[in-house]
Amino acid sequence: MSEATTPATEAVPEKRDFIRQIVREDLASGKHTAIKTRFPPEPNGYLHIGHAKAICLDFGIAAEFGGRCNLRFDDTNPAKEDPEFVRAIQDDVRWLGFEWASLRHASDYFEVYYLAAEKLIKDGKAYVCDLSPEEVRAYRGTLTEPGRESPYRNRSVEENLDLFRRMRAGEFPDGSRTLRARIDMASGNINMRDPALYRIKHVEHQNTGNAWPIYPMYDFAHSLGDAIEGITHSLCTLEFEDHRPLYDWCVDNVDLAGHPELLEPLKAKGLPIEAAKPRQIEFSRLNINYTVMSKRKLTQLVAEGLVDGWDDPRMYTLQGLRRRGYTPAALRLLVDRVGISKQNSVIDFSVLEGCLREDLDATAPRRMAVIDPLKLVLTNLAEDHEESLSFPNHPKDEAQGQRQVPFSRELWIEREDFAEVPPKGWKRLVPGGEARLRGAGIVRIDEVVKDEAGNVVELRGWLDPESRPGMEGANRKVKGTIHWVSARHAVAAEIRLYDRLFLVEKPDDESDGKTYRDHLNPDSKKIVRGWVEPAAAGAAPEQSFQFERTGYFVADRYDHRADAPVFNRSVTLRDTWAG
């Protein structure tokens, strides 16, 4: 799926959410002359559909306002991180149609963080604390009770500097000490009760190796990372709202802009110096029913073998959705439709599917494929009858041109398009009845062939030679039209019929003692052997089609081959879950 255009160049109506309004005002007032954002994933798992919202917002705003957006890996927690995730995240961002101004890692700034910590110590704003993790918790207090000050809080600057340098030198074991900000143990905001800035962790890091036995904490590293890169608007989800005072405290008290010496290590790395005061703005997460979205649960689904890997087409990872046949345009449409606000809400899964249908209806070429085949022999055609019929690739888009579809005496049709005993209102094939074969004429069923067990194994019929579309004989009143493929020309295909992974709206809800594992849809994956017309078999991997009357399908990104086609059902033509 090549996507030449980015959202910046698409003719979309101007977006007016509260964050874009703030950005507009900041440009109008001259507070900023250029906008800079960042997308800061932790490389501890694959990105999921929720991240698409953050990506479209961070990169989208930069593009819309002529600004820049960095991709920054928040790699401050080495034990859980993996280069495989780093590669996949870059792949996902580009697939969504975005490109970063600069690729960064929090670990690029470890030296700056360290100097910033020493500065806070020298200013009396940070201290080395010897309380154990349990003691720290006990001293912290609760929402209703203030915390108690650590007995180490009033160490001298000299002692703190000495201990912190020895922490950095690797002298102390994991968990034995922390560097804490000296803020306010009585603060109503627990995040401000002398939060840890550094912890000791003798763990190898994928970028810095064994250079560091201490690692910065998220709030410290993230806020300073934003300041280092000159981020103007630091956009994040609502759960960080309570962290904003700490974010601002770190930015203000380190004051990188006023202390350029702290940024010296960037020069050695050839990184530009753009320090500025960033503003954190929170927005609500994307939540969708029938899904689980936390990295932890997605990891468990893979680890426990409940799905076939991170990119299983039923997964709500971007890699999974991509393999399922979701398009970047469909996901961007979803994000636009959901909008940006501070209101938490849960989006119905049908909105996601609707966005995909909308995109594919407009763009996907049409093809014919039979997924539950029944043989139909047209007895009045010669054994070697063979012709090539011309079909439009898209009914509403002439620019997509035409394709040739081979037609012959023996066809595969869909088993469900024939009924020996039709229900009321049935318009398709019955014994002795007529239906249109898409683009080929009207067929009448003369004979139903059965096996010994009484199963229908073949239909034999008569094709009215005067009933081709456009001919006089085609004007007869025959209501049903069915699709088909020529048995001699069709290519056998593996067709993977995917459906929602969970049966219930809130798989995360454990109030009845069940977990999301208990809500897996046993019918979320069915593999069948079908037949596709040659023009579908020759598709490139990731090419999407509408298989007429059947659904939207994509040629599997990894397994599809022209001589052994594999198609994944992306979405049905209509919502089958409604009501």
Residue nearest to ligand ATP (CB): 50
Q: Name the residue nearer to ligand ATP (CB basis): 41 or 60.
A: 41
Answer positive or negative: Cα dihedral of 218, 219, 222, 224: negative
Place of tokens 């190796």: 209
40 assigned ligand-binding residue: no
295 assigned ligand-binding residue: yes
Q: Give the integer Cα–Cα distance in Å for 277 and 322.
A: 37
Tally Cβ neighbours within 10 Å of residue 387.
Answer: 12
Q: Name the residue nearer to ligand ATP (CB basis): 129 or 236.
A: 236
Q: Which helix (H) or strand (E) holds 525?
A: strand 525-532
Q: Give the integer Cα–Cα distance in Å for 286 and 344.
A: 8
Nearest distance from residue 464's CB to ligand ATP, in Å?
57
Reported residue count of the chain is: 579
Tokens of 134: 């349990």
438 assigned ligand-binding residue: no
Q: Name the residue nearer to ligand ATP (CB basis): 288 or 374.
A: 288
Angle between helices 218-229 and 244-254 (to 10 degrees): 60
Q: Name the residue nearer to ligand ATP (CB basis): 46 or 172.
A: 46
Q: Name the residue nearer to ligand ATP (CB basis): 237 or 572.
A: 237
Nearest distance from residue 345's CB to ligand ATP, in Å?
11
Say whether 42 is catalytic: yes
Q: Give the integer Cα–Cα distance in Å for 428 and 422.
A: 9
42 assigned ligand-binding residue: yes
266 assigned ligand-binding residue: no
53 assigned ligand-binding residue: yes
Nearest distance from residue 517's CB to ligand ATP, in Å?
18
Point out the catalytic residue in the list 94, 285, 444, 468: 285
Q: Give the integer Cα–Cα distance in Å for 48 and 292.
A: 10
Q: Which helix (H) or strand (E) holds 322?
A: helix 318-324
Q: Give strand pairing partners of 552.
A: 546, 571
Quick check: 96 and 332 in contact, CB under 8 A? yes
Point out the catalytic residue in the list 68, 182, 244, 295: 295
Q: Name the residue nearer to ligand ATP (CB basis): 73 or 484.
A: 73
Say whether 295 is catalytic: yes
Nearest distance from residue 253's CB to ligand ATP, in Å?
23
Q: Give strand pairing partners of 412.
A: 375, 485
In the complex, which residues of this chain contact ligand ATP (CB under 6 A)? 40-42, 50-51, 53-54, 236-237, 285-286, 293-295
Nearest distance from residue 19's CB to ligand ATP, in Å?
12
Q: Tell me, what amino acid is at 192?
A: M
Nearest distance from residue 236's CB to ligand ATP, in Å?
4
46 assigned ligand-binding residue: no
Point out the catalytic residue in the list 24, 42, 64, 549: 42
Tally Cβ neighbours within 10 Å of residue 108.
Answer: 22
Angle at 519 between CA 513 and CA 523, to 5 degrees: 160
- Please state the residue numbers annotated as binding site for ATP: 42-44, 48-54, 237, 285-286, 293-295
The residues annotated with a catalytic role in the active site are 42, 285, 295
- Please state the residue numbers annotated as binding site for L-glutamine: 74, 218
- Please state the residue numbers annotated as binding site: 42-44, 48-54, 74, 218, 237, 285-286, 293-295
